[in-house]
């Protein structure tokens, strides 16, 4: 299957998740010249649809598609909330040996979230009408064949140290401008909480970042 054929088939699809997702994934396999689950995993333990998993916090569910050491994918119907889909697949991640890539897809958009230990998470968003670009095809190839190619360069520790330095510099600037130290500390704590709330999905679609 060529990129043009894939786009022509899937752009504008409006069916339900259950009706579409397995064929969509099988077409991705064809597009990327990757074996399909039933071709290489006879018992469904390492590469399969509907991989059963315990949820963090209790209960059981399943990842829509799973490839051990590579990814877990949560599909939603076209136009559905991918933020909720990400929260769902994150609850399965530990039971699935913590795949390095967590993917959410509503047929029209594929989002690849990196999940490597001690690294900041990167997000790669591939819209259906941009799927054929060399950069996006390379990302999809990495998803299926070599997740390490999508591993971010900066660690969580480096990001934390960098953020702490910037917050300290901002605090010094605000105090130098005459603001009361307690008020400065309270304001920065509120900003820090807003950043956290945005990252875990408690605020809608990068609301705090856009306000800044």
State the pLDDT at residue 27. 97
- Domain of 10, CATH number, reads 3.90.1570
| 128-171 pLDDT tens trace | 999 999 999 999 999 999 999 999 875 555 556 667 787 788 88
State the pLDDT at residue 159. 59
Q: d(Cα 174, Cα 122) in Å, to the nearest integer?
A: 31
- pLDDT of 203 strictly over 90: no
Among 101, 123, 150, identify where a domain stops: 150
Domain count along the chain: 2
pTM: 0.71
**Bigger pLDDT: 179 or 211?**
179
Residue 102: helix, strand or coil by DSSP? strand
Shared-domain flag, residues 131 and 180: no
Determine how β-strand 123-127 pairs with β-strand 71-75: unpaired
Mean of the per-residue pLDDT values for the chain?
A: 86
Extract the tokens encoding 188: 């920065």
Domain, as residue range, for 179: 156-211
Shared-domain flag, residues 124 and 200: no
Tell me what the mean pLDDT of segment 104-128 comes to.
Answer: 94
State the pLDDT at residue 201. 62
State the pLDDT at residue 125. 96
Shared-domain flag, residues 68 and 134: yes
State the pLDDT at residue 15. 87
- pLDDT of 111 strictly over 70: yes
Tell me what the mean pLDDT of segment 20-49 comes to.
Answer: 93
Among 150, 180, 196, identify where a domain stops: 150
Residue 129: helix, strand or coil by DSSP? helix
- pLDDT of 7 strictly over 90: yes
With tokens 């994918």, the residue in question is 73
- pLDDT of 13 strictly over 70: yes
Are 122 and 114 within 8 A, CB to CB?
Answer: yes
Shared-domain flag, residues 126 and 39: yes
Q: d(Cα 188, Cα 180) in Å, to the nearest integer?
A: 12
Tell me what the mean pLDDT of segment 63-78 comes to.
Answer: 94
Among 131, 150, 169, identify where a domain stops: 150
Taking alpha carbons only, the member of 77, 115, 75, 120 closest to residue 98 is 115
| Contacting residues for 133 by C-beta, under 8 A, at least 6 apart | none
């Amino acid at each position: 299957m060529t990129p043009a054929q894939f786009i022509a088939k899937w752009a504008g699809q409006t069916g339900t998740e259950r009706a579409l997702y397995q064929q969509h994934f099988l077409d991705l396999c064809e597009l990327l010249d990757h074996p399909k689950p039933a071709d290489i995993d006879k018992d469904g333990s390492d590469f399969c649809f509907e991989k059963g998993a315990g949820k963090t916090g209790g209960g059981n569910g399943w990842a829509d598609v799973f490839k051990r050491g590579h990814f877990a994918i949560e599909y939603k119907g076209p136009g559905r909330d991918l933020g909720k889909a990400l929260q769902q697949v994150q609850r399965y991640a530990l039971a699935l040996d913590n795949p390095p890539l967590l993917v959410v897809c509503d047929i029209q958009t594929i989002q690849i979230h990196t999940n490597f230990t001690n690294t900041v998470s990167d997000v790669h968003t591939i819209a259906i009408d941009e799927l054929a670009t060399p950069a996006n095809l390379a990302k999809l190839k990495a998803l299926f064949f070599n997740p390490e190619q999508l591993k971010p360069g900066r660690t969580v520790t480096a990001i934390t140290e960098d953020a702490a330095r910037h917050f300290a510099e901002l605090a010094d600037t605000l105090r130098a401008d005459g603001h009361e130290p307690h008020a400065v500390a309270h304001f920065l704590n509120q900003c820090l909480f807003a950043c956290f709330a945005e990252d875990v999905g408690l605020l809608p679609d990068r609301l705090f970042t856009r306000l800044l």
